[in-house]
Amino acid sequence: MLTIAIQNKGRLNEDTVALMKDAGISASASHRKLISDAKGFPLHVLYLRDDDIPQAVAMGVADIGVVGLNEVLEKEKDVDIRMNLGFGACRLSLAVPKGVDYPGLEWFEGKRVATSYPVILRKFFDGKGINVDVHEIAGSVEVAPAVGMADAIFDIVSSGGTLIQNGLREEDIVTRSEAVLISTPGLSEEKERELAKLMFRFESILESRGMKYVLFNLPKEKVDEAVAVLPGMKSPTVLPLADPEWVSLHVVIHEDILWDKIEQLKNIGAADILVLALENLIK
Give min distance, CB of 51 to ligand ATP, in A: 5
Single out the segment in contact with Mg ion by CB under 5 A; choices: 47-55, 78-86, 150-158, 185-193: 47-55
C-alpha–C-alpha distance, residues 128 and 125, integer Å: 5
What are phi and psi for residue 13, nearest 5 degrees? -60, -50
User: Which residue, 138 or 277, has its beta carbon nearer to ligand ATP?
Assistant: 138
Give min distance, CB of 122 to Mg ion, in A: 19
C-alpha–C-alpha distance, residues 224 and 3, integer Å: 50
Single out the segment in contact with ligand ATP by CB under 6 A; choices: 20-28, 67-75, 196-204, 245-253: 67-75
Residue 71 interacts with ligand ATP (CB under 6 A): yes or no: yes
Q: Kind of pairing, strands 133-136 and 211-219?
A: unpaired
User: Which residue, 5 or 270, has its beta carbon nearer to ligand ATP?
Assistant: 5
Give min distance, CB of 38 to Mg ion, in A: 23
The contacts of residue 150 (CB under 8 Å, 6+ apart) are 112, 113, 114, 135, 144
Q: Please identify which residue in 30, 140, 158, 237 interacts with ligand ATP, judged by CB under 6 A.
A: 158
Give min distance, CB of 82 to ligand ATP, in A: 16
User: Which residue, 35 or 241, has its beta carbon nearer to ligand ATP?
Assistant: 35
Residue by residue, DSSP assigns 165-194 as HTTEEEEEEEEEE-EEEEE-TT--HHHHHH
Nearest to 67 by CA among 59, 83, 78, 136: 83
C-alpha–C-alpha distance, residues 276 and 256, integer Å: 15
What are phi and psi for residue 87, nearest 5 degrees? -140, 175
Residue 85 interacts with ligand ATP (CB under 6 A): yes or no: no
The contacts of residue 55 (CB under 8 Å, 6+ apart) are 75, 77
What are phi and psi for residue 143, nearest 5 degrees? -90, -10
Q: Please identify which residue in 25, 50, 208, 218 interacts with Mg ion, judged by CB under 5 A.
A: 50
**CB distance 216 to 266 below 8 Å:** no
User: Which residue, 51 or 170, has its beta carbon nearer to Mg ion?
Assistant: 51
Residue 88 interacts with ligand ATP (CB under 6 A): yes or no: yes
Give min distance, CB of 9 to ligand ATP, in A: 6
The contacts of residue 83 (CB under 8 Å, 6+ apart) are 180, 181, 199, 202, 203
Residue 68 interacts with ligand ATP (CB under 6 A): yes or no: yes
Give min distance, CB of 234 to Mg ion, in A: 44
Residue 51 interacts with Mg ion (CB under 5 A): yes or no: yes
The site for Mg ion (CB under 5 A) is made up of 50-51
The site for ligand ATP (CB under 6 A) is made up of 7, 10-12, 49-51, 68, 70-71, 88, 90, 156, 158, 177
